[in-house]
Structure 1
């Protein structure tokens, strides 16, 4: 007679998140003191509005000239004119769900359709309960014309576009990320 077992519970990211995803340069996309650098700060919250205290935010971005030092850049890889620019950063959330990334403003990018994408950061969120990262973009609040012409932003329902635009803050830009519920941040399938 065969014995029947219950369903194994789903696994979450677990301790690997804080052990395996640490980045030696942490939240510094550019070295501290880089001219033009600023902080992107925000809070990660769940569907009930509670802080997500064990998440990690990862950023990828172009340099101020809108270039990547990567072979997948169709214009060719090119080192940044900003000394120490990494184009990548990781920030763990604190006990209130806050993350912070030190960066510089990216330049506009050529869009696949021949247009232009507005300056933006690509952000991934990893965390407990997420078996896969969620990916979003941060657009800058002082770029209304570029944002209005951006093909990706234009493809988002008008009433949800605001979840992709940061707010000016004293030392840079604030960008909160809501994982579910009312005012959920727009996430992209990549």
Structure 2
């Protein structure tokens, strides 16, 4: 708002960004979640953000996940990371593979990474999850069971050949193969 003769006057609204790189602290350490001594399988999590026209070079990706035992917010591992995407729409987190998370109903959620994405053109950030393809616990996960079977592949990270410690996940904001996003 601006002021005209002491009274507030509405100013036009705008969509978000692309301002994330401008205001984001250049701290690559926010992409390294697993410090020395943290137990668990060390992995690289390569996330690529695409819209209908191709890579989104100015998005911001936040992730949050449990430790290898399926516990959140432990002193040895807080599970939070934040990185901007590069010119190819990619960012890479160094972390550990999360464990299954117990639920109150005596079940378990398959190992997963929670993702919050901020990008130009989005009026609000969006949320999704990354699951690990081939994980036997996927069949029992209560959240992924709510996703239509034809769309579940949009939530699965895969391993490129020749890189056993790397998992790749593509977030498609629109178009063919659009990623499933969750309303929180």
TM-score with structure 1 setting the length: 0.81
Of 62, 73, 83, which aligns to 1:58?
62
In the alignment, the residues of structure 2 paired with residue 160 and residue 54 of structure 1 have an alpha-carbon distance, to the nearest angstrom, of: 26
1:72-151 to 2 correspondences below 5 Å? 78-80=74-76, 85-143=77-135, 145-151=136-142
SS at match of 1:175: strand
Gaps of 5+ in 2: 1-10
Which secondary structure state, in structure 1, belongs to the residue aligned with residue 154 of structure 2?
helix
Of 42, 49, 59, which residue of structure 2 is paired with 1:44? Answer: 49
Distance 1:47 1:36, change over 3 A: same
RMSD: 2.4
Query: Is 1:188 the counterpart of 2:179 in the alignment?
Result: no
More strand by share: 2
Native 8 Å contact 1:32 1:102 kept in 2? no
Deviation at 1:32, TM superposition (A): 6.9
Asked whether the 8 Å contact 2:116–2:127 carries over to 1, the reply is yes
Q: Which has the higher contact order (CA 8 A, sep 6+)?
A: 1
TM-score, scaled to structure 2: 0.83
Flag structure 1 segments of 5+ consecutive residues without an equivalent: 1-6, 70-77
Preserved contact between residue 68 and residue 79 of structure 1 (Cα < 8 Å)? no
Cα separation, 2, equivalents of 1:26 and 1:167: 23
Q: Deviation at 1:21? A: 4.2
Count residues with an aligned counterpart: 171
